[in-house]
Structures are given as C-alpha cells and as structure tokens.
C-alpha cells in the first residue's frame, strides 16, 4: 500500500520541482542581484517551511540558479584580450551562417581561436563580421585571418527590434571586420551532412522561380533570399512560415506517421497482437522529425518544437495522460536546461502558449 501511494506522489514531486525550476529560471534571468530576486527567494523559503510541497519548489528554484550560473560561466563569460597598441586580433573562424552573400559578405562565425586562446566549438563565442574577399564563403568554411573586433553593441530603442538582446540569445558577443583580402579556406568536417543536404536541395530547385522559398522551407537557411523577397513575405504576413517551428515539425511527423501506417497495412506482414502499432508509427514520425531538425542545423524554434513532441510521446508511451499541461511543463524544463536564457526569447512564450 505504501508503495502504491509513493507511486502516486512521485509525478507530483517532479511536477513541483519542475515548477520551481521554471520560476527560478525566470526570476534569476530577469531579477538576479535585485531586491525583487531577494523577496522572491525569501517568500519561497518561508512557504517551504510551512507547506511541504514548496520544499520541492525550493529545490527546483536552487537548481535553476545553479544551472544558470554554470551556463553563463561556460557560454557567456567572454572578454576580448587587452589590445594595447594592436589594431587587429589573430583569429581562426568557422562560418555558421552567411547573412549576405553580396560583396562585402556579412557572416556569422564561431571564433575557435582568439590570439593564443583556443575554444571548443561547442563553447566558442560568435561574431558578426564583414568580409571583403575575392573568395566566396559558405557555411562550414574554416579560415584564419586578422580581424578588427569590438564588443557587440547596438542603439537601444524600445519601439523596434532589440538587436542587442537578440545577439545575446544567439551568443553573438563581438562584431567587426576581417582585414585579409586573400583567405586560405578549408572545409570543416563539422556538419558535413547538413552542408551536403543544402547543396543537394539547392541543386534540385535551381531552375525553379521559387527556389529561394523551397530552399528556405526545407533547410531553414535564408541565405538565398534577397531584400525584396523578405519584404514581400513581411508584407503578406507570411514571414513566420519561413521559420522552422512546430508547424513544420508536425507536418513532417504526420507525414511519416501516415506513410508508415500505410506501408504496414499494405505489406500484409503478420504482426503479433502484443505489439502496439501506434507506438511504432509515432516512433518513425519522431525519427523523421529529428532528421529534419538535424538537417536544419538545430534551429532554436525547431529544437524547441522537437523537445515538446518528444515529451508528449514519452508520456504517451508511459500510458500517461499526455495531453495534460504536465507534458508541456516538462518540455519547458528541458528547453530551459539546454539554455536558461531562452526566457529572453519572446518566441518561447508564443510556442508554449499556442500549444
């Protein structure tokens, strides 16, 4: 009997811890080192002393503070070395994205070496750079150069898009210009499958008038779009369709689900009655969705939707009520564990409120 009641209480324990983690992430990111943060912490401490469930909320709250401090130390605590009389830094770069292919090119690049300091690709800071070179840079290209760098700063304007906040969420810490006119470019082995897939899609639709649209929807890369095309999509109110998110993930999942079910039903294969075919169909759908997100290079919105789908399916496989808000709460916790600073992204709230 005690085992039965402990089994019932376990989901509620994880739910309270998850709720505390979400509250702790929001409070720490927005109010750390302020009077509001102190008051929120004291309130949870007092509540946990009188109400037992709040002890689990306190545990999640503390875990969130620790996770944010570790995440900030690993991924956000970058500073430029003292420059002295030097005008440029010696850097080694990996191109993450080509924002503009027109000369001079404008790229987003990972700095895997800055003067004598080496960084792992996973933790390396990013920079927005102007490159005036005869060579055409593509995603995945690696090269060494001298660059003039400064901390990323932008004019604060509350009525327009906040570039500095967006740069922070994308881990872009510097901006500048590559000074070399001739670059020795090598292809990195990283993301070779993604690069090959993008070249294949580009080749397939190169003769189509809407090649830029098909390429963007299938890869998440907007480098083929010019200013007029972006403006047209904004005017039509369709820009959100170009950002790979829950809509695209659900379409891929549904397509793979029904195709698998159709193939199995027409294959006339003897299947044991103990096998749950719906589980097999949904698993194939999730694998297809994962491959799609992988080939889109794990765009933030797509990754968030994939995590939500995974939590829903996990609760479904465990024979839980997967459509309850608990599955959304667990998905939110996973998203914040990967990057707690996602709470600064308005898209996070739109995604979870829509679901």
- Mean pLDDT over residues 194-209, rounded? 84
Alpha carbon of 351 to those of 146, 253, 303, 329, 355: distances in Å?
A: 41, 17, 12, 12, 6
Q: What are phi and psi of 273, to 5 degrees?
A: -70, -15
Question: What pLDDT was estimated at residue 4?
Answer: 37
> Quick check: bond before 104 cis, omega within 30?
yes
Contact by Cβ (8 Å): 324, 318: no
CATH 1.20.81 fits 89-187, yes or no: no
pLDDT band at residue 11, thresholds of 50, 70 and 90? low
Contact status, residue 60 vs residue 23, Cβ threshold 8 Å: yes
Asked whether the predicted pLDDT for residue 202 surpasses 80, the reply is yes
- Identify the pLDDT of residue 157: 65
Q: Is 261 exposed, middle or buried (0-12, 13-18, 19+ CB in 10 A)?
A: middle
CA–CA distance, 318 with 331 (Å, rounded to integer): 16
Where are the chain's structural domains? 2-75, 89-187, 192-242, 246-354
Per residue in 127-181, pLDDT (tens digit) is 999 998 877 888 778 888 899 888 887 776 666 677 788 888 888 889 989 988 8
Note the pTM of the prediction, 2 decimals: 0.73
- Per-residue pLDDT band for 3 (boundaries 50, 70, 90) equals very low
Q: pLDDT (tens digit, 9 = 90+) per residue, 235-284?
A: 877 777 777 888 888 889 999 999 988 888 887 777 777 777 888 889 99
pLDDT in tens, 94-137: 888 888 777 788 888 999 888 888 888 888 889 999 998 877 88
pLDDT at 10: 53
Q: d(Cα 266, Cα 285) in Å, to the nearest integer?
A: 18
* Model pLDDT, residue 74: 85
Q: Return the percentage of the chain with pLDDT > 70, whole number.
A: 90
Reported in sequence order, the residue ranges of the chain that DSSP labels E, i.e. its strands, are 89-100, 105-114, 117-118, 126-131, 141-151, 172-178, 185-187
Distance CA 241, CA 222 (A): 12
- 26-46: per-residue pLDDT in tens? 999 998 888 888 898 888 888
């Amino acid at each position: 009997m005690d085992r039965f009641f402990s089994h019932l209480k376990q989901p509620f324990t994880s739910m309270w811890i998850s709720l505390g983690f979400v509250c702790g992430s929001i409070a720490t990111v927005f109010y750390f080192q302020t009077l509001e943060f102190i008051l929120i912490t004291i309130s949870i401490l007092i509540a946990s002393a009188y109400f037992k469930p709040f002890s689990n909320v306190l545990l999640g709250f503390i875990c969130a503070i620790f996770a944010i401090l570790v995440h900030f130390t690993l991924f956000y605590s970058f500073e430029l070395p003292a420059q002295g009389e030097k005008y440029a830094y010696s850097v080694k770069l990996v191109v993450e994205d080509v924002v503009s292919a027109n000369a001079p090119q404008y790229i987003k690049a990972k700095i895997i070496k800055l003067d004598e300091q080496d960084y792992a690709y996973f933790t390396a800071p990013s920079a927005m750079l102007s490159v005036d070179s005869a060579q055409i840079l593509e995603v995945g290209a690696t090269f060494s150069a001298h660059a003039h760098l400064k901390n990323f700063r932008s004019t604060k304007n509350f009525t327009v898009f906040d570039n500095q906040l967006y740069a922070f969420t994308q881990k872009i810490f510097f901006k500048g210009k590559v000074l070399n006119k001739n670059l020795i470019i090598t292809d990195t082995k990283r993301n070779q499958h993604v690069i090959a897939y993008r070249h294949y899609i580009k080749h397939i639709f190169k003769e189509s008038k809407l090649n830029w649209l098909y390429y963007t929807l299938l890869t998440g890369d907007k480098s083929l779009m010019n200013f007029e095309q972006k403006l047209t999509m904004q005017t039509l109110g369709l820009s959100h369709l170009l950002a790979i998110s829950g809509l695209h993930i659900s379409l891929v999942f549904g397509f793979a689900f029904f195709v698998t079910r159709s193939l199995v039903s027409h294959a006339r294969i003897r299947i044991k009655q103990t096998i749950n075919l719906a589980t097999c169909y949904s698993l194939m759908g999730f694998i297809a969705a994962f491959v799609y997100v992988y080939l889109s290079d794990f765009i933030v919105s797509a990754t968030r939707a994939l995590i939500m789908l995974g939590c829903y399916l996990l609760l479904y496989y465990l024979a839980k009520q997967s459509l309850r808000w608990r599955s959304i709460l667990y998905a939110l916790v996973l998203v914040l564990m990967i990057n707690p600073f996602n709470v600064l992204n308005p898209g996070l709230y739109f995604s979870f409120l829509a679901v």
